[in-house]
Amino acid sequence: MDKTINARTGLKGSIRIPGDKSISHRAVMFGSLAKGDTNITGFLTGDDCMSTISCFRKLGIDIEVVGDRVTVHGKGIKGLSAPSEALDVGNSGTTIRLISGILAAQPFDCVLNGDASIRKRPMKRIIDPLSQMGADIESTNCGYAPLTIHGKKLKAIEYTMPVASAQVKSSILLASLFTEGKTVINEPVASRDHTEIMLNYFGADIKNNNGVITSAPVEELYGKDIEVPGDISSAAFFMAAGLIVPNSHIIIKNVGINPTRTGIIDAFKSMGGFVNIINERSSGGEPVADIEVKTSRLKATTLEGSIIPRMIDEIPVFAVAALCAEGTTVVRNAEELKVKESNRIATMSEELGKLGVKIEETDDGMIIEGGQKIKSGTVYSHLDHRVAMSCAVAALVGNGTTTITDADCVGISFPDFYEKLESL
Ligand code: S3P
């Protein structure tokens, strides 16, 4: 599907965004391993999280979906059964990396596969630590999916994370539930901690002492009620739009503001953006708030170090906002962008180039000259949901009508993104 987006002014109104993708995946996975029912509300029914549901159904778990309400009839920590066919993770890196930690410890074998993008995303980062734990994971494609996992008895390890990746950390933590002894993970730069928060809520014993994370095996996890907050990574498109589209004022309701995810708020504030956090509250151990944004004169900034994992998925749309700022913005230490659903340094630079603006690619980030005038044109999503939505935000400040080709990939994380945009 192609989508046309007109340049706009005066985006006004209040919106709710879909549930957090990271939390939705985890609620299904942990609910499947727990004893009793897990009732999830605000679940993100985007394609990625539906891939997680489909995998756990094939592993013998009964999961009901009605709108954004999901009930997982968990069968306990030892309740999964051998699937009769390969598990298809679709486009979802979170599904394949987290589920590998679980499957490595099961008393059966299984095959994991996904789409063309998944088959290009690095899996060695989970194969290495899981193998140290005794896992037997075969990659017929040199460190990429498809993966064949032969279930084994695992042992606890001590592991230092070479990259800040919540997916890798979570994969090890899930495997650690099935070992004897305590697993220790040294995490020099913090990544999102939804796994630690939610697994503890289900009855696990995970502690984080200044970046040293310890996890003890569990006898059992217990089903819980989970209210999934709105996804700050989805809110980011509306934050950026509200800041750069003239005469805008938007309130985004019910957004998860876990401090491991709020780099985008800090970045926009440091650029002089009007970003107001209101109505702060807590839900299931996760902080939640409404976010108010108004059109602002942005100044350039530098992003590097520990803020990068706190906003890794938001950097594509941040780059669009930086194009509208005064001065030169530099993004460093963000090489992880190259191994997302697309190489987001390359794809953003290529597509924004088609709108008449230049983003300079560097080895670990980008240099963005502010004050460039974005034009309208035709851009390609590269089948990457966040590239499509970032281009849509750029299109709002173009000089006419922009067409995004293969625009329906937004269904991965934000199925009604275009409708929400039009509603403002
Ligand atoms: C995610 C972690 C991040 C993020 C991804 C979701 C998660 O990936 O980019 O969209 O749910 O754990 P890495 O942990 O690999 O950086």
pLDDT by residue (tens digit) across 228-278?
999 999 999 999 999 999 999 999 999 999 999 999 999 999 999 999 999
Residues 54-103: tens digit of each pLDDT:
999 999 999 999 999 999 999 999 999 999 999 999 999 999 999 999 99
Calpha distance 120→123 (Å, rounded): 9
Which pLDDT band, with edges at 50, 70 and 90, does 410 fall under?
Answer: very high
In this structure, the answer to whether residues 134 and 218 fall within a common structural domain is yes
- The CATH number of whichever domain residue 68 belongs to comes to 3.65.10.10
- Say yes or no: CB of residue 347 within 6 Å of ligand 1: no
Which residue minimizes the CA distance to atom 10 of ligand 1?
A: 313
> Is residue 171 located within the same domain as residue 259?
no
Domain final residue, candidates 195, 210, 225: 225
DSSP string, 325-369: SBSEEEE-S-GGGGGSSS-HHHHHHHHHHTTT--EEEETTEEEEE
313 is catalytic: yes
* Least confident span in 132-136, 215-219, 259-263: 215-219
Does residue 181 carry a pLDDT above 80? yes
Give yes or no: residues 261 and 382 share one domain.
yes
CB 298 within 8 A of CB 328: no
Helix (H) or strand (E) segment spanning residue 251: strand 249-256
Query: Which residue is closest in CA terms to ligand 1's atom 5?
Result: 94
CA torsion 236-242-244-245 (nearest 10°) is 130
pLDDT tens for residues 36-56? 999 999 999 999 999 999 999
Atom of ligand 1 nearest to the CA of 26: 11
Among candidate residues 225, 250, 276, the one where a domain is terminated: 225
Q: Are residues 201 and 295 in the same domain?
A: no
Q: Are residues 216 and 270 both part of a single domain?
A: no
In terms of domains, do 149 and 237 share one? no
The domain total for the chain is 2
User: Annotated catalytic residue: which of 20, 231, 313, 384?
Assistant: 313
Residue 251 identity (one-letter amino acid): I
Query: Do residue 249 and residue 215 come from a single domain?
Result: no
Domain co-membership, 11 together with 71:
no
Instruction: Take residue 51 and report the two structure tokens written for it.
Output: 């891939």
Ligand 1 site, residue 312, Cβ cutoff 6 A: yes
**3-class SS of residue 259:** coil
Indicate if 209 and 277 belong to the same structural domain. Answer: no
Same domain, 139 and 153: yes
d(CA 110, CA 120): 20
* 244 shares a domain with 175: no
Percent of the chain as helix, strand, coil, to the nearest 5: 35, 30, 35
Domain containing 295 equals: 3-18+229-423
The residue whose two tokens read 């075969």 is 138
Residues 311 and 259 in one domain: yes
Say if CB 306 and CB 190 are below 8 A apart: yes
The residue among 225, 247, 262 that closes a domain is: 225
Q: Is the Cβ atom of 390 under 6 angstroms away from ligand 1? A: no
Contact 241, 258 (CB under 8 A): no
Order of strands, sheet of 3-6, starting from the edge strand that comes earlier in the sequence: 3-6, 401-405, 378-380
Is the CB of 165 within 6 Å of ligand 1? yes
Mean pLDDT (whole number) for 150-160 = 98
